[in-house]
Chains A and B, each alone.
Chain A
C-alpha cells in the first residue's frame, strides 16, 4: 500500500461518517499528502481506488485546493502570509528575508530538500501579524530576527 496501514484504516473508518463514498475525499488527499510529502501518481491511484472514482476526477479535485500539491516539497514548507493585515505590518520584508535566507523563490525548495517557501493568502492570524506557518505550525508577530531563530530551530530539529 502507498500509505501506512494505520492511515488506510483511519480512512475506512472515517468514510462511514458520510452517506457517499467520495465525501471524505478532500481531507483524505490532505492526510495522504501529509504522510507522503506530496500526491504522487501512486498516491492518486490509491485514493481513486479508495473512493471508487477515476484518477482524472481526483486530479480535478486536487487542482482546486491550494494546499494540495503533486510535486515534492521541502520537509518544512514555510508559508508567509502576504495578505492585507500582514502586509500592513511588514510581511513583504518578512517574505523577502525568508527568500534571501533560504536562497529560493516563491514555491521553490532548497537543494538539501529541507525547506520550501510559499507566499500564501490570509491564514487567520491577522491580529498577530505578520504571520507565517511552517507546515501546520503558526508563527506570529514576526520580525526578521524571529524568523532566523525559527528557521534555525527547524534546521536543528531535523538533524536530531
Chain B
C-alpha cells in the first residue's frame, strides 16, 4: 500500500524482501524462508542466545534494550507457561516501519517469534497488531494459516519434536497499549493500564507466565542474525549497536519514506542526501530523531551518528526510528502543543503527574499558541515537565515531558515571540478566540 523508496546508501537486511511478494509463503521460501528456524532448532537455546547477544541487537521499539540479555533473564524452569509477545502496536508519532515489515515480510516476524520462543523454551507466541492496521492483521492471519498448513507451526515443527503455536491478536486504538505491561493487559482483554514493575515480564508476564516482549522490527531481525551470524550483524552497525534500522523519514523533506541504514549513519547526511534535503529550498530548524517522545535537536546538533549511544550523548534518543524534520518556517510552540495534545489524549489516567500534567501542559500550550501566554508560563511549562520526569507510573509521562523540556530550552525565544497577544510569527491568521491573561 504505502510507497516504497530507496537510496544507494541503504543496507537491506530487514527490508531485503520488501516489494518481492514475500507475504506469499512460496515466495518467502525462495528467499531463505524458514531456514533460520531450522538452524535455530539445531543451535538450541544457548546457541540462539549466544548469537543474539553477539549481534548487539537492541530493541527497536524505543528503549534500545539488548535483546539477547532480555531473553536470558527468563528463568529456565517455570511452573507457568512461557510466552513470546510481538509488539506491533506501532503508534509513536513519526513511526511507520513495522507496518512495512508486516505488509511485505510477515513470515519473518513469525520466524522471529518462534526463534525467540525456542530461546526461552516457550511454546506459544502472540503477534499483537494495532487495530487501525486491519489490512495487516488480515495479511498476518493468512501468513499464520499458511505456515500451519505446511507444518511450520503447530505440533512437531520441522520434525524436531518441538511444538510451537503462533496466534494473532489486535488492538482497538490506544497508544498506551504499546507500553509492554499495558500491552499484556490488553491481550488479556482488559483496559490498557500498565502494571507495576518489578516483577518484570521476563519473570511474571502474560497470565502470570514468564514473557518476552519485543518489537516487530526486533523480531524480524532475528532470523537474519541466526542465518548470517551474530558477528556479521554486529559489524553492520557501531560498537554495542548492531545491525541496521528502518528509519522513518518524515516532515519537511523532499523524499520522505522508510529507509534501512546502518546504525550510526550520520543524521545530517540522512536528511540532506537520503531524504533529498529540506523541502522548498528552506533551511533546517530542528529534528525529532526518534519518534515524538524524543528530545528535539537543533539544526546545529545534527552532526551525530544515529545509534543509541551517540544520540544519548547528544541529549536525545534513538527511540523508535522516527526522524521528523522541521524547516525554518515551523512554529515550535505549535509543534510542542501538538505533541502535548497527543500525550494528553493518550494518557491512560492512572497516575496523577501524567494525567494532570499533560492536561495542564496542553491547556497552557493551547493558550500560549493562541496568543494568550504570559511570561511566567514559559518557566512553568518547563518546571512542570521537569517534575513529571521519572515520577510517573509508566514512561508515557517521560515521553510527554522530554520533548517539551527540550523545545522550551532550545527555542525559548519562540515562546517569547508569542507573548502579550502577539500573533504567531510563523502563521497568518492564527490570532484567535482566547483572551490575553494578565
Whole-angstrom distance from the CB of B190 to the nearest CB of chain A? 6
> Shortest distance in angstroms between B6's beta carbon and chain A's nearest beta carbon?
13
With A84-B339, A88-B251 known to touch, is A128 a contact of B292 (CB < 8 Å)?
no
Is A124's CB under 8 angstroms from B91's CB? yes
Chain A residue numbers with a CB within 8 Å of B165 are 17
Asked if B27 is at the interface (CB within 8 A of a chain A CB), the reply is no
Bound-state Cα–Cα, A138 to B175, Å:
19
Residue in A22, A64, A88 whose beta carbon sits within 8 Å of that of B330 in the complex: A88
CB under 8 Å from chain A, chain B span 297-343: 322, 324, 326, 330, 334-335, 338-339, 341-342
Interface residues of B in 209-252 (CB under 8 A from A): 248-252
Q: Are A133 and B324 in contact (CB under 8 A)?
A: no
Given A61-B191, A66-B173, A66-B174, check contact A127 B132 (CB 8 Å).
Answer: no
List which B164-198 residues lie within 8 A (CB) of chain A. 165, 167, 169-175, 186-192
Tell me, yes or no, whether B438 is within 8 Å of chain A by CB.
no
Shortest Cβ distance from A81 into chain B, in angstroms?
9
Enumerate chain A residues within 8 angstroms of B190, measured Cβ to Cβ. Answer: 22, 25, 61
For residue A145, CB closer than 8 A to chain B, the reply is no
Report A50-92 residues with CB < 8 Å from chain B CB.
51, 60-61, 64-68, 82-85, 87-89
Partner of A27, one of B81, B172, B191, B334: B172
A30 at the interface (CB under 8 A from B): yes
**Inter-subunit contact A84/B93 (CB<8 Å):** yes
Docked-complex contact A65 and B172, CB < 8 angstroms: yes
CB of A129 within 8 A of CB of B250, answer: yes
The answer to whether B94 and A67 have CB atoms under 8 Å apart is: no
| Chain B residues in 8 Å Cβ range of A27 | 131, 169-172
The verdict on A4 contacting chain B, using a C-beta distance below 8 Å, is no
Are A128 and B256 in contact, CB atoms less than 8 angstroms apart? yes
Q: Bound state CA distance, A71 and B96, in angstroms?
A: 30
Instruction: Looking at the assembled complex, report how far the CB atom of B342 sits from the nearest CB atom of chain A, in whole angstroms.
Output: 5
Knowing A27-B172, A65-B172, A82-B338, the reply to whether A124 touches B189 (Cβ < 8 A) is no
Q: CA A126 – CA B90 in complex, angstroms?
A: 11
CB distance from B163 to the nearest CB of A (A): 14
Q: Which of A68, A84, A89, A123 has the most CB of B within 10 A?
A: A84
Contact of A88 among B175, B326, B345 (CB under 8 A): B326
Chain B residues with Cβ below 8 Å from A129 are 250-251, 256
CB distance from B338 to the nearest CB of A (A): 5
A24: B residues at CB distance < 8 A? 169, 189
Also in contact, A30 and B189, with CB within 8 A (given A83-B338, A84-B94, A124-B90): no
Shortest CB–CB separation between residue A87 and chain B, in angstroms? 5
> Which listed residue (A19, A126, A136) contacts B93, Cβ 8 A?
A126
Q: Do A138 and B94 have beta carbons less than 8 Å apart?
A: no
Give the contacting residue for B95; candidates A23, A126, A128, A140; CB below 8 A.
Answer: A126
Q: Is the CB of B251 within 8 A of A85?
A: yes
Q: Is B257 an interface residue (CB 8 A)?
A: yes
Complex interface residues of chain B between 72 and 128 (CB less than 8 A to chain A): 81, 90-96, 98-99
A140 vs B185: C-alpha distance when bound (angstroms) = 32
Q: Is there an interface contact between B92 and A122, defined as CB atoms closer than 8 Å? A: yes
> Which residue of the partner chain, among A23, A88, A121, contacts B324 with CB atoms under 8 Å?
A88
Question: Which residues in A have their C-beta under 8 angstroms from that of B249?
Answer: 127
Taking CB as reference atom, which chain B residue is nearest A16?
B167
A26-B91 CB under 8 A given contacts A84-B292, A88-B251, A124-B99: no
Smallest beta-carbon distance B399→chain A, Å? 13
| Contact call A26/B172, Cβ cutoff below 8 A | yes
Q: 16 new A-B pairs (CB below 8 Å) besides A84-B288, A88-B330?
A: A22-B190, A23-B187, A26-B189, A60-B191, A65-B192, A83-B93, A88-B324, A121-B175, A122-B92, A122-B94, A124-B99, A125-B96, A126-B95, A126-B322, A127-B250, A136-B134
Interface residues of B (CB under 8 A from A): 1-3, 81, 90-96, 98-99, 130-135, 165, 167, 169-175, 186-192, 207, 248-252, 256-258, 288, 292, 322, 324, 326, 330, 334-335, 338-339, 341-342, 345-346, 348
- A: residues with CB less than 8 A from B are 17-20, 22-27, 29-30, 51, 60-61, 64-68, 82-85, 87-89, 121-129, 133, 136, 138, 140-141
| 8 closest residue pairs by CB, A with B | A67-B173, A25-B189, A22-B189, A66-B173, A65-B172, A136-B134, A85-B250, A64-B191
Q: What are 27 of the A-B contact pairs (CB < 8 Å)?
A: A20-B189, A25-B190, A26-B172, A27-B170, A30-B172, A61-B191, A64-B348, A65-B131, A65-B173, A65-B174, A65-B192, A67-B132, A67-B172, A88-B251, A122-B94, A124-B90, A124-B96, A124-B130, A124-B133, A127-B258, A128-B2, A128-B256, A128-B257, A129-B256, A136-B134, A140-B3, A141-B3
